[in-house]
């Protein structure tokens, strides 16, 4: 994969169009969590330190192609200015004469933040005219927004296609994502163990099919495990089961056996009649869930089995929680897996919004080798798909 890093780009005295992910939660004009803004800082400092000026682009929310004052990037510009310790003016729009004039006035070391690119209807349509307008603003292109790379938008794939290979590349954050998933999917140390959780098998079918061709063991938890257990004839009580996917689950179990992949399912569960903090909670003595009860977390024996598999792995990739971890009574399975991943000598990658949230809440995030910044993008990489925002940087 021939994607240039910042060190391979000639940025001295140039204007760089830098696509980042500044899609942060804002309430009443106040930023609630600036994690994504902070994540963009290393690349911005590196580009500015190379003597470039920066035309910065990001989306915020889903304005559906029309300006919405509550989704303006103005609060982000103010916070970014504080963190960079330099002015970060907000452009008067996405493109147009006023934007072009502000860009032409940039000096080396200065930053201009474009208004929310999704205010323009052509952004999500990858409109060629908008992509050309973006490209005309700069001499080089840097993408550091992994979370948007699975979308062929004007500020990702479209604009990148309009720069020659020697004048486009990946920022530090995006490059770390590319390298981490390459290490897991293309050049893993073995054994390679994948852990999948979440609610539905249907959400993970392409992931499972792709991983069965790559992993040594596949651990399946969360509600999606009950469709597989139902396929084995195990009683699942009132647990979430996708009845229309039982035959598919049976086929996937057979395929795993043919490939010699250990597809490991829960052997016990934490159960309750309802998802509530005050609910009566029990632990089953086997994989069966009695009628009237729901499986809401993996049980202690499953935690031990999953933990042992992770402990002996050399590479681990995890997507999806083991239970309803937002409720304390059903959180221990997910948190135990997070601790096992942190303690394992394996190279560990965690992707997906819920998994990342669980790792952060478990207090072991600093001991995970790579925590992905893109839920949808990481899932599509696990499916084996080519991400258009990344493909556009190749050459």
Q: Which of 155, 172, 189 finishes a domain?
A: 172
The yes-or-no answer on residue 376 being catalytic is: yes
User: Does 187 lie in the same domain as 53?
Assistant: no
In a domain, 156, yes or no: yes
In a domain, 392, yes or no: no
Token reading at 264: 């490991």
User: Does 68 lie in the same domain as 12?
Assistant: yes
Residues in the chain: 395
Alpha-carbon gap, residue 251 to 94, rounded angstroms: 49
User: Does 223 lie in the same domain as 303?
Assistant: yes
Domain of residue 18: give its range.
6-172
**C-beta separation of 141 from 135 below 8 A:** yes
Token reading at 10: 């000639």
pLDDT for 355 equals 84
DSSP assignment letter at 118: G
Q: Which of 135, 153, 172 finishes a domain?
A: 172
Tens-place pLDDT, residues 220-260: 999 999 999 999 999 999 999 999 999 999 999 999 999 99
Using 50, 70 and 90 to split pLDDT, how confident is the model at 1? low
**C-beta separation of 188 from 314 below 8 A:** yes
pLDDT for 277 equals 83
Alpha-carbon gap, residue 317 to 239, rounded angstroms: 26
User: Does 233 lie in the same domain as 136?
Assistant: no
Q: Which of 93, 353, 384, 395 is catalytic?
A: 353
User: Does 133 lie in the same domain as 218?
Assistant: no
Helices (H), 136-280: 159-160, 172-185, 205-212, 225-231, 246-259
**Contacts of 133-137 spanning 24+ positions with Cβ under 8 A:** 133/95, 134/17, 134/57, 134/95, 134/158, 134/159, 134/162, 135/17, 135/159, 135/162, 135/163, 136/100, 137/15, 137/17, 137/55, 137/95, 137/99, 137/100, 137/103
- Identify the weakest region by mean pLDDT among 1-5, 115-119, 333-337: 1-5
The yes-or-no answer on residue 250 being catalytic is: no
Mean pLDDT, the chain, rounded, equals 96
User: Does 361 lie in the same domain as 278?
Assistant: yes
Using 50, 70 and 90 to split pLDDT, how confident is the model at 2? confident
Token reading at 40: 């963009």
Number of structural domains (the chain) is 2
User: Does 372 lie in the same domain as 225?
Assistant: yes
Q: Which of 4, 36, 79, 167 is catalytic?
A: 36
In a domain, 330, yes or no: yes
H/E element holding 131?
A: helix 128-135
User: Does 288 lie in the same domain as 207?
Assistant: yes
Closest CA to 238 of 226, 249, 252: 226
User: Dihedral sign, CA of 224, 145, 162, 46?
Assistant: negative
**C-beta separation of 113 from 93 below 8 A:** no
The yes-or-no answer on residue 36 being catalytic is: yes
Tens-place pLDDT, residues 147-204: 999 999 999 999 999 999 999 999 999 999 999 999 999 999 999 999 999 988 898 9
In a domain, 311, yes or no: yes
**Contacts of 79-85 spanning 24+ positions with Cβ under 8 A:** 79/31, 79/34, 79/37, 80/22, 80/37, 80/40, 80/56, 80/111, 80/113, 83/34, 83/37, 83/38, 83/41, 84/41, 84/44, 84/45, 84/48, 84/111
In a domain, 387, yes or no: no
Alpha-carbon gap, residue 107 to 6, rounded angstroms: 20
When pLDDT is averaged across residues 59-76 and rounded to a whole number, the result is 96
Q: Which of 235, 375, 376, 384 is catalytic?
A: 376
When pLDDT is averaged across residues 278-282 and rounded to a whole number, the result is 94
User: Does 267 lie in the same domain as 356?
Assistant: yes
Q: In the chain, what is the straight-line distance between the N-terminal and C-terminal CA atoms, in Å? A: 8
User: Does 139 lie in the same domain as 18?
Assistant: yes
In a domain, 141, yes or no: yes
In a domain, 248, yes or no: yes
Report field, pTM of the whole predicted structure over 0.85:
yes
User: Does 256 lie in the same domain as 144?
Assistant: no
Token reading at 188: 């893993």
91, 93, 99, 286, 317 from 55: Cα distances, Å: 10, 12, 10, 58, 35
**C-beta separation of 385 from 365 below 8 A:** no
DSSP E strands: which ranges in the chain? 15-19, 26-27, 30-31, 53-57, 111-113, 140-143, 168-170, 192-196, 217-220, 262-264, 269-272, 281-283, 294-298, 315-319, 347-351, 370-371
Using 50, 70 and 90 to split pLDDT, how confident is the model at 73? very high
pLDDT for 59 equals 98
User: Does 92 lie in the same domain as 64?
Assistant: yes
Q: Which of 200, 250, 282, 367 is catalytic?
A: 200
When pLDDT is averaged across residues 17-35 and rounded to a whole number, the result is 94
Q: CATH code at 51? A: 3.40.50.1260
Tens-place pLDDT, residues 319-366: 999 999 999 999 999 999 999 999 999 999 998 778 888 888 989 999
Q: Which of 140, 172, 204 finishes a domain?
A: 172
Q: What is the dihedral of CA 367, 373, 379, 383, to 10 degrees?
A: -80
Tens-place pLDDT, residues 76-89: 999 999 999 999 99
H/E element holding 104?
A: helix 97-104
Query: Around Cβ 30, how many Cβ atoms within 10 Å?
Result: 9
In a domain, 393, yes or no: no
% of the chain with per-residue pLDDT over 70:
100
Alpha-carbon gap, residue 228 to 393, rounded angstroms: 39
Token reading at 29: 């004009």
Using 50, 70 and 90 to split pLDDT, how confident is the model at 106? very high
């Amino acid at each position: 994969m021939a994607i240039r890093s910042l060190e391979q780009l000639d940025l001295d005295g140039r204007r760089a169009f830098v696509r980042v992910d500044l899609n942060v939660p804002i309430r009443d004009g106040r930023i609630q969590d600036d994690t994504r803004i902070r994540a963009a800082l290393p690349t911005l400092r590196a580009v500015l330190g190379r003597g470039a000026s920066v035309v910065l682009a990001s989306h915020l929310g889903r304005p559906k192609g029309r300006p919405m004052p509550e989704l303006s990037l103005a609060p982000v510009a103010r916070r970014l200015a504080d963190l960079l310790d330099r002015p970060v003016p907000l452009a008067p729009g996405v493109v147009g004469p006023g934007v072009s004039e502000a860009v032409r006035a940039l000096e080396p070391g200065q930053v201009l933040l474009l208004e929310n690119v999704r205010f323009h209807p052509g952004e999500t349509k990858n409109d060629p005219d908008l992509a050309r307008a973006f490209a005309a603003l700069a001499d080089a292109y840097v993408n550091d927004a992994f979370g948007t790379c699975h979308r062929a938008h004007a500020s990702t794939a479209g604009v990148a296609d309009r720069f020659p290979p020697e004048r486009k590349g990946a920022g530090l954050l995006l490059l770390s994502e590319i390298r981490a998933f390459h290490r897991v999917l293309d050049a893993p140390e073995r054994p390679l163990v994948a852990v999948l959780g979440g609610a539905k098998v249907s959400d993970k079918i392409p992931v499972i099919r792709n991983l069965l061709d790559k992993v040594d063991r596949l651990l399946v938890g969360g509600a999606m495990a009950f469709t597989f257990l139902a396929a084995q004839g195990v009683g699942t009580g009132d647990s979430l089961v996708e009845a229309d996917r039982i035959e598919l689950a049976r086929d996937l179990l057979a395929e795993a056996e043919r490939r010699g992949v250990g597809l490991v399912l829960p052997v016990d569960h934490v159960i309750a009649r309802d998802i509530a903090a005050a609910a009566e909670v029990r632990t089953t003595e086997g994989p069966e869930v009695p009628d009237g009860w729901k499986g809401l977390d993996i049980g202690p024996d499953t935690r031990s089995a999953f933990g042992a598999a992770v402990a002996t792995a050399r590479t681990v990739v995890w997507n999806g929680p083991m239970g309803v971890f937002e409720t304390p009574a059903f959180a221990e399975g997910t948190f135990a897996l997070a601790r096992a991943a942190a303690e394992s000598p394996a190279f560990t990658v965690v992707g997906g919004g819920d998994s990342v949230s669980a790792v952060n809440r478990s207090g072991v995030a600093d001991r995970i080798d790579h925590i992905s910044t893109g839920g949808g993008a990481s899932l599509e990489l696990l499916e084996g798909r080519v991400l258009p925002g990344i493909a556009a940087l190749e050459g």
